[in-house]
Each structure stands twice: as structure tokens, then as C-alpha cells.
Structure 1
Amino acid sequence: MAIDNTLLLNRLRIQPGEQILTRLAISRLPSGAVIDVPVHVIRSTEPGPVLLLMAGMHGDEVNGIETIRRLIRRNLLQPTHGTVIAIPILNIYGFLNFSREVPDGKDVNRSFPGHPRGSVASRVAHRFMREIMPLVDYGIDFHTGGAARANHPQLRCVLGQDTVTDALAAAFAAPFTLHARLRPGSLRATAHALGKPIIVYETGESLRFDEPGIEEAIAGTLRVLHHLGMGAEGPAPARPNVLCHRHRWLRARYAGLFRAHVGLGDYVEEGQIYGSIADPYGGQAVRLESTMSGYVIGLNYMPVVNQGDALLHLAMPA
């Protein structure tokens, strides 16, 4: 909360013009080591909105973590107006264990708004909602593909419902913007219910740096800061933003060894052969034919697939 333009966070009174690093205590490991979440708060002397930049909701999603790290190290988060709250890693447990989840196996991004006496994931979500969310006006939540699936740089939000979210997405100007429904228990859905727009950026795969996607994320963040009147004009987008109201994963009808014949960002026509699944014992290989046309925004990099596994994520332009 803010009183007389003083921002109150983690029992600290942060004045305009101040820059601090504070740590939200979450819990303890069985060893007794304290788990806390570092939070950067960077305030201008001039009033303005509060923008949240958050990554590491899933501990193995390193591209968002690296995006915020670079923004901090390059001194790019000094707002001319308002306040930036930057959280490079929310799920410290997952980060330490190269995992999406917390130790109880639950997903933090399905645990909002959380509970102070709930599971570990629920406690992380509750502390965030109690300390951070009351301060936030807008947010960007950075994510990475999981389970050996890679994402082409893309933004996800609910399109066409409110002009504020649409304007944030247009300002970020990722290569693709997807209309993505709100998922119960997610940060985005919980924030939406409070009237606080949060857009989600995805790029790359877990535990791998995606350099082009990280630089896209940095440029998009700077454009959002400018759009909100918090910073200088960001770099112009390298390519037009493609709006996609429909998107769907193509799934494996057979088990075996999957080989893709297309890459992220490619356009696939309906009926085009996009890959094959081969019998690992030297038998027949089956060619995979696309049942729709669209851009490849997600791709399974795991060669061994079972029936029903997601192989190719296609997005159809509006």
C-alpha cells in the first residue's frame, strides 16, 4: 500500500527516488535454511503507475529470469515516473531444484490467491498477494516453455475485453500475440479479478537460454515503460506483431521417435507434412500431415513421444 506517496513493502517505507532490494521470507527448508524472495523496488521522484516485472514462477524457466537480470544490470529500469517492482525469481524452491514445482509437487501458478496455512505453493502465492499485489497497477509475467517444448517469442493475454490490456499487448509488440483464456488459480486470472492487467510473455524452453527471445523481452518491456509514461521510447519492433485469436496443439496419433520438418516461426499450410514418427526398432515411419494452417509458435523437442503428446503448436492469424 502507499501512504502520502510512501510505498510500504515488507515493513519498509520506500520514498520517491529510492531504490532498494528487500527479501520476502517464505519458509524454511528441512535443513533450516531460510527461503526468501528478493524484490527490487525502483522509484522515480515523479508520481506515476507501478509496473510489476516478474519471472521464475516456475523455477526452470530461465529466460524470464535472465531477462529481468539483464534489465537490472543494464540499468534499464530507472523510471522517469512511477515505480518498477522487479522479481527475478518467485519460485526459489524450483530454481534450486531445476523444477517447475515447489517441493510438494504443486504449481505456484495454479495456487493463487493462496493461503497462509496452505501448501508450500499456496503460501508462496499468498505472500505475493499480501505484499506485492496491492501495490501493482500493471504487470508483465515472463515464462518459458516446459516439458522439452519450446515457444517462439509470444505474448498471451485476453484480447478484445478491455482497451488497457489490448494497449499493453500492442505496446509490447511481441512477434505473436495470442488470445489466451484465463486459467483458474493463475496469477493472471487473480489479478484480472482485481482489475489489474497482467500480460504473459513466453519464449524458449526450460533450462536453455533463448537469446533472441530474451532480447525481444527486453525491448518489449522498454516499449511498455514508454507506453505507461515511465520511460524513454523503446526500440522499434523488428517485425510486425501478428494477432492470433485461435491456436491449437497438433498431437501424436502414434508412439515412437518424432522428427520435426519445420521450425519455430514457420508458416505451415493445411495438408503440409510437418514431421514424422518412426518405429524405434527399424520399422515403418509415419509422415505427419497438418490438419490446419498457421504459424509454428510451439514445438516439441523431445524425440521420444507417446500417443497424445503435444507435437506442434499452431496459431492462426486474426
Structure 2
Amino acid sequence: MSDKEVLHILGESVALGESAKVSFNVAKLHTQNTIDVPVIIERSKKPGPTVLITAGIHGDEVNGVEIVRQIIAKGINKPKRGTIICIPVINVFGFIHMDREFPDGRDLNRVFPGGKGGSLASRVAHKLMTEIVPHTDLILDFHTGGADRFNAAQIRIVKNEIVLDELAQVFGAPVIYYSKNLNKSFRNSCYKLGIPMLLFEGGKSFHIDSTVTNTGVNGTKRVLYHLEMLNRKFKVSKPKKGCIKIADSKWIRANHSGMFKSAVSVNAQVKKGDVLGHITDPYGSFNHFVKAPNDGYIFNVNESPIIYQGDAIFHISTKLKS
């Protein structure tokens, strides 16, 4: 698979030592214009693994797109051995309109593995799974928190997978979150094919955070170095601090609607009863304190100034993995 002298992908042939930008044809619009997503391929003369780096499954998650953009702009995607395939924006429709979903109203990350005769989102998922994913040995998929919920930089993997565990620790994000593969997600479909994926989450929609971006770029370099694929001109930094491994967690939800202000930031370690934030109204008639229900780490904070009863406002760990 990864050691082929000629890579046949999306109707193009790319030999060892060659670079190529091929088109992932997403759809033809009602105006007869075609929508093509650029797929950037870099192959070393020396055979080795094939790594796929993706972002923009949700069109409003620009921080992930920025991470892949930097990987390409800095030349990190030019491997010492093997092949690196980059797709910075999969959901180009959503990216153009700064919308999470596809024009058909579907969440692309809930229609995998898709179908050739299905909805627009389903057809894109099917093409990705049949024409690109089978060529790969490892996938790094970059996401951000939805809406105004700011995610701590984290790698999400399933429990009890030795290869994923090792790669997640090599990546060196501040948090490893052990979460189940969601049904019909990109990650779950790749898992069923036996292709390991590190899913990176960090920051929030419509926002580029330099700390999160640096974590994603540096983590990618560490993984490529581990696979002996990183070009010699790049230095690999050590993670700044020890990794928090979260085995279980819960969402803290708002008991009241109102104006919301957090008193803690992501990665904060809190004790049961600590004040995490407060909810008020515009008239100064009440001030409700949001308190930690247990000891743990806060790894997602809702940064919206206005919230409604039942909104998820903090994600807190309930059990750590040793």
C-alpha cells in the first residue's frame, strides 16, 4: 500500500519523489460549475508509510484548517520517507459560508462511510473513504470545539488500543481524551477499516488560537519524527508539561438562562465545590454561581456571553487514566 512506486489516486498517478496537487471533485453546482477540493501530495524518493492529514470536515472549524495550512506552508508535509497527503478543507461548501454543515443540511461527520447514490454529504464521504483513505496508514484529523465551546487542545482516541495510545502520547497534546467512536463518523469508519486515526480537537469555531495551532503543528512534527518521516531541517520540541489522560467525563449544564462568565480556563484543575463561573441577568436581580460537582480537570469552556437553561457550559473529567 504505502510502498508502491506509483500512487494511483483520484485518477492521477504520482511516483516516488514526485509532488502533485490533484482534484477531489465534490459536486457540480446548479450553475454547472464544479467544486474541486485540492489534495496536496508529497512523496519522498524513499518508500515508507502514507499519512493523511485532514481538516475542515466542519466548515466553521477554521483552526484545524489553519494547522494544516501551516504544515503545508512550512514544508512539514515534504517527507524524508513515505508519502504525506494533505486535505486542508474537506467541507469546502461550509468553509465558504462559514457553516458547519453541508448545503443539504447534513453533518458530514455523521454520514460516513457514505454511499455513491446518497445525499451530497454522503457522496463526498463515500468518495473520501473509497478513493483516498485506502491508500493511507495513519490519519491525523483536525477539529475544533463547536459554536462558542472552547476545547483544550486534545487528542481523542478509543480505549485499549496500543498503537493509538502510543501515537497519542507521541503527539504530546495537553489532554488525551478516551472517547467512543461515534456512529457514522469519519473516525469510526476508518477504525472499522483498521486505519488508525488521531482526532485532534482544540479551540472553537470561527476562531484561530495561536496556542492551539502551535500544539497541532508541533504534535504533527513529533508523530512524523516518530515515523522517521520528518525532514531533517525541522526541530522537534518536547511537550511543555505532562499529559492529562481523561477516561470519563461529564458536561456541566446551565440551570438558568442569562449572561454567563467563566471563572476558570481550559486545563484548570478544580476541586468539588469550586466556583467555575456565574450566571446573571441584565437587571442585576440574581447571580447564580456554577460550582464543580467533583474534583477534576476542565477541558472545555463555553465562551458565549449569553446562555440558555440546559446549555453545556463546562466539560469536566470524572475519571483519569493512569
Q: Counterparts of 2:29 and 2:271 in 1: how far apart (Å)?
A: 51
Label 1:234 to 1:159 Cα distance change in 2 as closer, same or farther (>3 A). Answer: farther
Larger CA deviation: 2-11 vs 183-192: 2-11
- Please list, as runs of the form range in 1=range in 2, the aligned pairs for 1:8-19 lying within 5 A after superposition: 8-19=8-19
- AA paired with 1:8? H
1:241 to 243, 257, 269: 243
Partner of 1:124: 124
Higher alpha-carbon deviation: 89-98 or 266-275: 266-275
| Separation in structure 1 between the aligned mates of residue 222 and residue 279 of structure 2, nearest angstrom | 42
State the match for 2:137 in structure 1. Answer: 137
User: For residue 64 of structure 2, what is the amino acid of its counterpart?
Assistant: G
Q: Deviations over 1:143-190 (max 9, x none)?
A: 011111111111111132x21111110110101100011100111100
Q: Is the 8 A contact 1:2 1:8 kept in 2?
A: no
Paired residue type of 1:213: V
Gap regions ≥5 residues in structure 1: none
Distance across 2 between alignment mates of 1:159 and 1:138: 18
- Give the distance between the partners of 1:102 and 1:4, measured in 2 at CA: 34
Give unpaired runs (5+ residues) of structure 2.
none
Report the counterpart of residue 40 of structure 2 in structure 1. Answer: 40
Provide the secondary structure at the position in 2 that maps to 1:243: strand
Are the counterparts in 1 of residues 112 and 125 from structure 2 also a CA contact under 8 Å? yes
CA displacement 1:189-224 (0-9 Å, x = unmatched): 000001001011111111111101101101000000
Q: Deviations over 1:229-270 (max 9, x none)?
A: 212562211222221111221101111111111112211111
TM-score (norm 1): 0.96
Shift of 1:302: 1.1
Misfit runs of 4+, over 6 Å = none
Check conservation: 1:109, 1:186, Cα contact below 8 A: yes
- Equivalent of 1:286 in 285, 288, 297: 288
Question: What CA distance in whole angstroms lies between the structure 1 residues aligned with 2:167 and 2:214?
Answer: 18
Contact 2:2 2:49 in 1 (8 A): no
Equivalences for 1:1-318 in 2 at 5 Å?
4-160=4-160, 162-231=161-230, 232=232, 234-315=236-317, 316-318=319-321
Contact 1:256-1:304 within 8 A present in 2 as well:
yes
In structure 2, how many angstroms separate the alpha carbons of the residues matched to 1:293 and 1:95?
A: 38
Distance in 2 between the 1:165 and 1:4 partners?
A: 25
Question: Is the alpha carbon distance of 1:38 and 1:27 closer, same or farther for their aligned partners in structure 2, counting shifts above 3 Å?
Answer: same
Which residue identity lines up with residue 200 of structure 1 in the other structure? Answer: L
Is the contact made by 1:56 and 1:89 (CA closer than 8 Å) also made in structure 2?
yes
One-letter amino acid matched to 2:241: R
Corresponding letter in the other structure for 1:87: I
Alpha-carbon distance, 1:3 to partner: 8.8
Secondary structure, aligned partner of 2:199: strand
CA RMSD of aligned residues (A): 1.4
Q: Is the 8 A contact 1:115 1:125 kept in 2?
A: yes
CA distance in 2, matches of 1:208, 1:134: 32
Q: Secondary structure of 2:102's match?
A: coil
Displacement of 1:78: 1.4
The alignment covers a number of residue pairs equal to 317
Specify the code of the residue in structure 2 equivalent to 1:96: I
Structure 1 stretch displaced more, 242-251 or 190-199? 242-251
CA distance in 1, matches of 2:185, 2:294: 29
